Amino acid sequence: MKLRFDTDTFREILDSLLRNKSRSFLTGFGVFWGVFMLMLLSGGGRGFKQMLNNEFEGFAQNTCILFANQTSKPYKGFKEGRFWEMTYDDVDRLKNLMPELETVSPTVALWGKTVVRGDVVSSRAVVKGTRADYALIETPKLKYGRYINDTDNAQERKVCVIGKRVYNELFPEGGDPCGQRIRIDGAYYSVIGVNWNEGGININGNAADMVIIPINQARKAYNLGNAIQLLCFTAKEGFVMSDLTPRAREIICRAHYVDPTDEQALFLLNTQLIFGIVDNLFKGVNFIIWLIGLGTLLAGVVGVSNIMMVSVRERTTEIGIRRAIGATPRQILGQIISESIVLTLVAGMSGIVFSVLILYGVELGTMEDGILEAPFQVPFWTAMLAASLLAVLGVVAGLMPALRAMRIKPVDAMRDE
């Protein structure tokens, strides 16, 4: 069957819809609401997922973080409740015994430090000692300068990378602070970079509060000896972190006479599991969004079909007269289905446009410093898929009423009159 949308046909469709404005409005509202909900939930879910990804921005998804805690089990003559520390030697242990690991990086941190530049003070800073390879675990977003490198660490240079909050407090005038000197606990450090990262995952404190210095310099300046607080490592491509963590736990625990089965003594955070949970969560959310949206849309299409059936019943005489003056059953069929398609498309496209406007308003509300934080919008191909689905549903909604109209005979229509 071919539907012909010439000028006369389109005028007839509009006349029919305008003659029944209230019915057409109520019929189209169901489709409008279904498409509106589907697009709004789809765009909103996409935006919230991007906002969550922004929180994880710069953090390696295959990372494991270890830190020592009080033991809860006795082991090889040591009583439970013993405090212990990981050491710098554990870095080499993991590298030598686990070739599956790509990066093994230790960190130390000291909280509540006051940073001074001239007469300007920034309090509540966190001095964090790292190595150059830590950038592969928590990638910095450098606005100025560079990150700590291997030479800085080997030569124990007094250099630092400051976070966003520390920079704003120490340098209210703005500009590139690289080369400027700041004072921490009586020692002066030269600023070599500004980390603008504000991700939601932070190790040893918020990235905006950090003053990052070479770990060897931190160990020397604060008499930390060989102890480290955190040990972070990533797996090479093709390896699953969950398969590697039991071996890493056993290597570290046995070296420090800690029971490998004592999960309290060595806390282990596998970020790969966290990212997997988040991905599965949004897959479920997307499924529910499409289920709710399509259910609402189908309910609207059923409403269109029912109203079109009523319309055909009320137009029995009109259809009979058209049949009497030469209209073929195919033309009657095309007329009804065309009305159903136009009504469904107009209502559906209105829903798409309205949802896009609402989402655009949400986007404007999430902008910070003129930068779009998350795209609360409907992807183009999703809108095209919805439009194509509307056309198909329009045909389905008008098919039964059209078949009924096609079976009307002129004699029966006159008798009904």
Sequence ranges of the domains in the chain: 7-56+276-416, 70-100+239-264, 101-235
CB 211 within 8 A of CB 126: yes
Query: Percent of the chain beyond pLDDT 70?
Result: 78
Q: Which of 5-9, 127-131, 293-297 has the highest mean pLDDT?
A: 127-131
* Alpha carbons 260 and 253: distance in angstroms, whole number: 5
User: If you ran DSSP here, which 8-state letter would residue 136 be given?
Assistant: G
DSSP 388-409: HHHHHHHHHHHHHHHHHHHT--
* Alpha carbons 9 and 319: distance in angstroms, whole number: 14
pLDDT at 3 over 50: no
Q: Convert the pLDDT of each residue in 264-299 to its tens digit.
A: 999 888 887 777 777 787 788 778 877 877 777 777
- E-assigned strands of 215-270? 227-228, 230-235, 266-270
User: According to the model, what pLDDT value does residue 4 have?
Assistant: 47
Q: Convert the pLDDT of each residue in 96-113 to its tens digit.
A: 999 999 999 999 999 989
Least confident of 155-159, 187-191, 398-402: 398-402
Q: Convert the pLDDT of each residue in 163-198 to its tens digit.
A: 999 999 999 998 999 999 999 998 999 999 999 887
Q: How many CA atoms lie within 13 A of 344 on its CB side?
A: 30
Cβ–Cβ contacts within 10 Å for residue 326, how many?
7
* Alpha carbons 345 and 337: distance in angstroms, whole number: 12
- Geometric angle at alpha carbon 325, from 320 and 328, rounded to 5°: 75
What is the pTM for the complete model shown?
A: 0.67
User: What are the beta bridge partners of residue 22?
Assistant: none
* Alpha carbons 306 and 104: distance in angstroms, whole number: 66
* Alpha carbons 242 and 153: distance in angstroms, whole number: 31
* Alpha carbons 75 and 254: distance in angstroms, whole number: 10
pLDDT at 218 over 50: yes
* Separation of CA 185 from chain center: 40
